[in-house]
Amino acid sequence: MANQFAATALGSPLNDGNVAFCGTRALKSVASFGVDSAGELFVPLPAAIDLTGKTIVYNIYLDGPPLPNLTKAFGVAMKGPQFLSGAITDNLVVGTWNRVTYAPNMPNIIVDRIGIRLTMPAGDIWDGDVYLDEVSW
């Protein structure tokens, strides 16, 4: 079953040592917003976990030119074709770590990967790097 929420503005993730919030490495994705107004970056988990009653904390770093318009980050969690999301924050700042949180509000949330979904208004253009680090719950 295809993921109905697939978005392509973010490229394949890489383990990168240029920018890190905690430690020496972060998950990096090259972003190209314009053709697509959304992109997702996921952290695979070694085993499925239950997020019931938990709050996920993400640290996101954007490296590139100033953002042209409001950019939103959503916390996302997935298991198979299931997709959960909740609005997290507006006005992400380029060149600094942005801490965002997501508290799923439903019972029995079993997931095998967690991450972020970034969106921009359709037609806006932004190219840069997106880093995700220190994801905790």
Residue 73, domain member (yes or no):
yes
CA angle 51, 25, 53 (to 5 degrees): 10
Please give the pLDDT value at position 81: 66
Residue 107, domain member (yes or no):
yes
Look up tokens 């090259």; give the residue: 30
Please give the pLDDT value at position 6: 44
Q: Which residues of the chain have pLDDT under 70?
A: 1-8, 69-70, 80-84, 86-88
Please give the pLDDT value at position 88: 62
Look up tokens 């095998």; give the residue: 112
Q: What is the CATH number of the domain that holds 52?
A: 2.60.120.260
Structural domain range at position 55: 14-136
Q: Whole-angstrom Cα distance, residue 37 to residue 9?
A: 7
Query: What is the count of structural domains for the chain?
Result: 1
Residue 75, domain member (yes or no):
yes
| Verdict on whether the full-model pTM lies above 0.85 | no
**pLDDT tens digits for range 88-127:** 677 788 999 998 888 877 777 888 888 888 888 878 888 9
Please give the pLDDT value at position 5: 39
Give the 3-state DSSP-derived string for the chain, with helices as H, strands as E and coil as C: CCCCCCCECECCCEEECCCCCCCCCEEEEEEEECCECEEEEEEEEEEEEECCCCCEEEEEEEECCCCCCCCEEEEEEEECCEEEEEEEECCCCECCEEEEEECCCCCCCEEEEEEEEEECCCCCCEEEEEEEEEEEC
Residue 81, domain member (yes or no):
yes
Residue 3, domain member (yes or no):
no
